[in-house]
Copies of this chain bind each other. A is one copy, B any other.
Amino acid sequence: MAQKFAARVSIEQVEEGSELAPKFDADGLIPAVTTDFHTGELLMHGYMNAEALQKTIETGEAHYFSRSRQALWHKGATSGLVQKLKELMIDDDQDCVWLKVEVVGGASCHVGYRSCFYRRIPLGTSNEPPRLEFTETTKVFDPADVYGNAPNPTKL
């Protein structure tokens, strides 16, 4: 397998060039934004290390790096909710990738919702703390059925 990533040598190369020269942060990670190819809905926000990005490119299925498990994460390997890439984009300074995917099974969120973003923050000033508004009310699956006793990835 050829090396996929070029060294970052100039701003012009990174912003205006056609070499793939991603910037991984101090932890070796790049943020990954995943949307539904058909609806444009934001499904999740995760991270990739170099291996996850390379595997995503090679296989056309989303791979992330799980920060809670500190391991390569083939999305859907446990749940069956694989994300098939329709298009993979990179941003101007090549420190973020955008995955446009189709989701086998229709859900992307470990809580059971279609999207991880199922609550709205109300805007404006108020003397009261904001109350989040649910925009999804029905879960697509029951996490207990899919994940069993696997530890919840949410960290306080």
A15 interface residue, CB < 8 Å from B?
Answer: yes
Taking CB atoms, residues of chain B closer than 8 Å to A42 are: 33, 35, 89, 98
Write the nearest CB–CB distance from A136 to chain B, whole angstroms.
10
User: Given the interface contacts A19-B132, A132-B20, does A40 sit within 8 Å of B35 by beta carbon?
Assistant: yes
5 contacts between A and B (CB under 8 A): A2-B127, A31-B31, A42-B98, A88-B121, A92-B118
Q: Which size class do A's interface residues fall under?
A: 35 or more
**Contact pick for A124, options B2, B57, B118, CB 8 Å:** B57
CB atoms of B121 and A97 under 8 A apart = yes
Counted per complex, copies of this chain come to 2
A17 interface residue, CB < 8 Å from B?
Answer: yes
A3 interface residue, CB < 8 Å from B?
Answer: yes
CB atoms of B92 and A113 under 8 A apart = yes
Interface string of A34-59 (1 = CB under 8 A from B): 01000111101100000000000110
Interface of A is mostly: loop
Which of A's residues lie within 8 Å of B, judged by CB? 1-6, 8-11, 14-20, 23, 31, 33, 35, 39-42, 44-45, 57-58, 60, 85, 87-93, 96-98, 109-111, 113, 116-135, 152-156
CB atoms of B153 and A93 under 8 A apart = yes
CB atoms of A60 and B123 under 8 A apart = yes
**Contact pick for A90, options B23, B89, B132, B154, CB 8 Å:** B132
Taking CB atoms, residues of chain B closer than 8 Å to A1 are: 125
**What residue in chain B is nearest A109 (Cβ atoms)?**
B92
**Contact pick for A4, options B2, B45, B130, CB 8 Å:** B130
